[in-house]
Chains A and B, each alone.
Chain A
Amino acid sequence: MPTDPRRPGRAVRRRPPNPLRALVLAVFLLFFVVPVLWLLLAATKTDEQLVHGDPLSAGSWSALRHNWDALTSYQDDAIFQWLGNSALYSFVALAITLCVTIPAGYALAMTEFRGRRTLLVATLVVMLMPNATLVVPLFLEVDAVHLVGSMWSIILPYSFYPFGVYLTYIYFSTAMPRELLAAAKLDGCSEFGAFRRIALPLAAPVVALVGFFSFVANWTNYFLPYVLLPESGQFPVQVGLGTLLNNVPQFNPTVGSLEVQRPELALATLLAITPVLVVFLFSQRFLVAGMLAGATKG
């Protein structure tokens, strides 16, 4: 393993680990992880064990197997349909978001053009707008262009990701050495050429960051698809989870006999969050890699 180039002297001057720091990190580790661990274990139990057993005990393979069968038999594999829909909406929107957001954030940070500040302000304003009332206008817009019921009615609003524009903007404006661009200009690079040859290769961390956050935002969005989509077959997994939740008697006592048990819901939740965690692990590799930009700046 190569030593970390960004932390010279680490190997030379190793300080003893700080016990206070270790303690704080450990306490927060428990805080963040215990509920997730509980959820993980819940999927391996029966509903009875969930209530009567030790909260952090494991169930059994057979219970897991049973929960899996019960979950997948819910409305004929509906869970896979939901996951498929989520993947379709999230990944297509992710691709559009990256193509649109990274150049925009770059231009806002590194180039001067008319309307730059207006754009920054407008982006901030719409980011701060509570979305309770945006649903009605969005619905009317989507209807005006005859996209109600189409997957684009979800994907296009998802693709608009102002948070990512700001991430990119701050990244480039704090980490990108301007001298590099100036040199590129002197070398006769076109503006687009400079972006492609110099900025993009340095942008891996922020691409990973924006990509990850936009993916998560799309994947976990509940309200927009819940309100906009007309067919239950089009629902993404978050809305599906809501449906399952509403079929658990403990959450909705009016439900009849065709109920969903809580361990099934736990299992469905785990399935729903797995893609997010996979994407996190994947993007984290880029997140901290190659941030050499700062080196030349200091």
Chain B
Amino acid sequence: MGAPSHGASRIAWPGRAGHGFVAPYVVLLIAFGVVPTVYAIYFAFTDASERFAGLSNFTTAAADFRFLPAIGHVALYLLVWLVFLVVLVVGLALSLHGLTVRAADRALRFLYYLPGALAGAASAMVWLFMLDPAVSPVGFLLRALGYDTFGQVIAPGHLPILLAVIAFWTGAGGWIVVMYGALNNISPDVLEAARIDGAGPWQVAWRIQLPLLRKWIVYMVILSFAAGTQLFVEPQLLSQASNGVAGRDYSLNQLSYDFAFQNDNVGSAAAISVELLVVGLVVAGLFVARSGFFDAD
């Protein structure tokens, strides 16, 4: 960190123009980011009549029978999802970037992105049909794995994989675009120099492209980790497609919604949110500190 040591690399104009640039954003940040967040934290520590409630909202949430299973679900899901995401997104972006036919990589990026437009309710129907061996285009694959009915496909043990697949299907295309853009930022001279020195494509990727993508990858991991702990859309979608057989009450964030909108217990809902926030911040803090994310290069 340390503004003094890096201040030199940022341009210091006299006056306060920096503030002018950020002022409109700060207004929005306070109105729609900071205030609601602080408000939610305030909820987490107060009861229904807005008296200070200590940690009682937290204990109520933790005592709920769905709390511990949800932590287990989310942890397992995170493991599958983050590995999927980091390895495959970076790998696919590098593969696309290395394509020699320009039209092909442009078309592929578009096609990979396609599912990104299908957010939330829009894809419930898609997954209902994809996962039902009776009507799925990949029914042969599901049957080969030994699953003959929708119910067998969405068995509880399969959920971490299924949810990660759904999340990857919708989310990966966007990140591939971001990574691809970042790869474009790497000077071709650097790559060319490496090639002349005899580096193969693997070495170029490992030694040059990956280190230069560091900030982007860190950013993706921080956000994806937080998004993963806040798992909500995918199980909700599966629950909608299966009429509640799978995916209901699966994640912590779903539990938080249930507290807020089913039990009218905004305090405990906020308590779970605060816990998720803290976890996200700790991980973000680790990555930020390790990678010099806030510093200019």
The judgment on whether A and B are partners is yes
Are the C-beta atoms of B28 and A160 separated by less than 8 Å? yes
Any B CB within 8 A of the CB of A70? no
Within the complex, what minimum Cβ distance (angstroms) separates B22 from chain A?
Answer: 5
Interface flags, B265-292, vs A, CB<8A=1, else 0:
0100110110011001100100010000
Q: Confirm or deny: A80 has a beta carbon within 8 angstroms of a beta carbon on chain B.
A: no
Query: Are B111 and A33 in contact (CB-based, < 8 A)?
Result: yes
Q: Which of these binds chain A: B46-54, B63-71, B94-102, B151-159?
A: B94-102
Main secondary structure of the interface of B (DSSP, over half): helix
**Which residues from B are CB-within-8-Å of A38?**
126, 129-130, 137
User: Which interface residue of B22, B88, B95, B106 has the most chain A CB atoms within 10 A?
Assistant: B22
Assembly CA distance A30 to B254 (angstroms): 31
Measured CB to CB, the nearest residue on chain B to A16 is B100
Determine the chain B residues whose CB is within 8 A of the CB of A56 once the complex forms: 137
B139 within 8 A of A: yes
Q: What residues of chain B lie closer than 8 Å to A36, measured between beta carbons?
A: 114-115, 118, 126
Residues from chain B with a CB closer than 8 A to the CB of A211 are none
Find the residue from B37, B108, B174, B219 having the highest chain A CB count within 10 A. Answer: B37
Q: How far is the CB of B162 from chain A (nearest CB, A)?
A: 13
B260 and A241 form a contact (CB under 8 A) = no
B21 adjacent to A245 (CB under 8 Å)? no
Which residues of the other chain, B, contact A238 by a CB distance below 8 angstroms? 119-122
B11 contacts A111, CB within 8 Å?
Answer: yes
B260 touches A133 (CB 8 A): yes
A64 interface residue per 8 A CB criterion? no
User: Are the C-beta atoms of B116 and A288 separated by less than 8 Å?
Assistant: no
**A294 and B126 contacting across the interface, CB-CB below 8 Å:** no
Q: Please, how many angstroms separate the alpha-carbon atoms of A221 and B288 in the complex?
A: 29
Contact present for A128 and B226 (CB under 8 Å): yes
A17 at the interface (CB under 8 A from B): yes
Beta-carbon contact of A141 and B297 below 8 Å: no
Expressed in whole angstroms, the Cα–Cα distance for A173 and B3 within the complex equals 15
Complex: how many Å from CA A162 to CA B26?
10
> Does chain A have a CB within 8 A of B169?
yes
Judging by beta carbons under 8 Å apart, are B32 and A157 in contact?
A: yes
Q: Does B125 contact A (CB under 8 A)?
A: yes
B29 touches A160 (CB 8 A): yes
Q: Which residue of A lies closest to B240 (CB)?
A: A251
Please tell me if the beta carbons of A138 and B36 are within 8 angstroms of each other in the complex.
yes
Using C-beta atoms within 8 Å of the partner chain, give the interface range for chain A: 35 or more
Q: How large is the interface on B (under 10, 10 to 19, 20 to 34, 35 or more residues)?
A: 35 or more
- A101, CB-defined interface residue at 8 Å: yes
**Chain A contact residues, majority secondary structure:** helix
| With A99-B24, A117-B3, A129-B273: A174-B18 Cβ-Cβ less than 8 Å | no
B28's partner among A113, A115, A156 (CB-CB below 8 A) is A156
Q: Mark A28-44, 1 if CB is under 8 A from B, else 0.
A: 11011111111100100
Q: What is the interface of chain B, defined by CB distance below 8 A to chain A?
A: 1, 3, 7, 9-13, 15-22, 24-26, 28-29, 31-37, 39-40, 43-44, 88, 91-92, 95-96, 98-100, 102, 106, 108-130, 134-139, 169, 172-174, 177-178, 180-182, 184-190, 192, 195, 201, 212, 215-216, 219, 222-223, 226, 230, 232, 240-241, 243, 253, 256-257, 260, 266, 269-270, 272-273, 276-277, 280-281, 284, 288, 294, 296-297
Other A-B contacts than A101-B25, A117-B294, A128-B277, 17 sampled, CB-CB below 8 A, are A10-B100, A111-B12, A111-B18, A114-B19, A123-B29, A133-B40, A133-B260, A133-B266, A136-B266, A141-B31, A156-B32, A209-B178, A242-B121, A248-B125, A265-B125, A269-B123, A276-B116
The contact sample of 10 A-B pairs, CB cut-off 8 A, is A18-B201, A25-B92, A35-B137, A56-B137, A138-B36, A156-B32, A174-B182, A220-B117, A251-B125, A265-B125
Q: Which 3 A-B pairs have the closest CB atoms?
A: A298-B187, A113-B18, A126-B33
